[in-house]
């Protein structure tokens, strides 16, 4: 490289004639240097490689949601798909909200929902008239009085008071099967009235 520098200085100072070979070498050197600079400053082009991430399989996707049926004094009654861990307020919001006649004290909006449950929102005064009975003559385990619970086969005063104590302590029953957590209610007693109750 020094020989090129020396010849170039000599040629520029007029001491020596510039040869054709020197000019070609100089032009080639400038071209190579330009290409190197362009290549260094050029952004990386995509390589065509990409990362494949696995999505949820069908069973996992289903496990991410729960379904509830909300009826009564609600703007758009029906069945709704909600994320696991959703609360009653989420179902009410999904259904467009409560009607003007709804008794919002008839439901616990903070209650966590369970898959497959039906939610009934009553009119103001409707609960007082219906008591613990739900549509279809079923007894609502979340609203029934001790006397109404005692109408169920196998439930006496002691069990009805335990049911109410459990209901009050746990914010209501999320499923019918939660009754099995009440001391004194076993599979056989539960089987005797399971078709007569609702949430």
Inside any domain, residue 48 = no
Same domain, 32 and 63: no
Q: What is the pLDDT of residues 73-119, one digit of tens each?
A: 899 999 999 999 898 899 999 999 999 998 877 777 887 877 877 78
Domain tally, the chain? 3
Instruction: Give the residue numbers spanning the domain of 37.
Output: 2-41
Inside any domain, residue 47 = no
Domain with residue 161: its CATH number is 1.10.150.320
Least Cα distance to 162 among 173, 176, 146, 174 occurs for 146
Same domain, 137 and 96: no
Least Cα distance to 83 among 58, 113, 54 occurs for 113
Give the alpha-carbon dihedral of 29, 32, 37, 40, to 10 degrees: -140
Give CA–CA dist 116/175, Å, rounded: 9
Domain with residue 102: its CATH number is 3.10.20
Same domain, 139 and 199: yes
Q: What is the pLDDT of residues 127-185, one digit of tens each?
A: 544 444 444 568 888 888 888 888 888 888 899 999 999 988 888 888 889 999 998 88
């Amino acid at each position: 490289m020094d020989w090129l520098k020396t010849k170039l200085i000599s040629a520029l100072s007029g001491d020596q004639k510039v040869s054709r070979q020197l000019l070609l070498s100089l032009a080639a050197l400038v071209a190579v240097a330009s290409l190197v600079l362009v290549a260094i400053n050029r952004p990386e082009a995509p390589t065509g490689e990409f990362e494949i991430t696995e999505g949820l399989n069908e069973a996992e996707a289903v496990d991410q949601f729960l379904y509830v049926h909300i009826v009564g004094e609600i703007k758009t009654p029906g069945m709704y798909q909600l994320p696991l861990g959703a609360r009653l307020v989420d179902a009410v919001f999904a259904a467009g909200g409560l009607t003007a006649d709804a008794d919002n004290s008839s439901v616990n909006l903070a209650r966590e929902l369970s898959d497959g449950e039906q939610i009934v929102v009553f009119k103001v005064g409707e609960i007082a008239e219906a008591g613990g009975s739900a549509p279809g003559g079923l007894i609502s385990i979340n609203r029934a009085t001790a006397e109404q619970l005692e109408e169920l086969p196998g439930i006496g005063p002691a069990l009805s008071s335990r049911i109410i104590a459990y209901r009050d302590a746990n914010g209501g029953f999320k499923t019918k099967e939660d009754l099995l957590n009440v001391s004194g209610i076993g599979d056989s007693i539960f089987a005797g009235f399971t078709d007569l109750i609702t949430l």
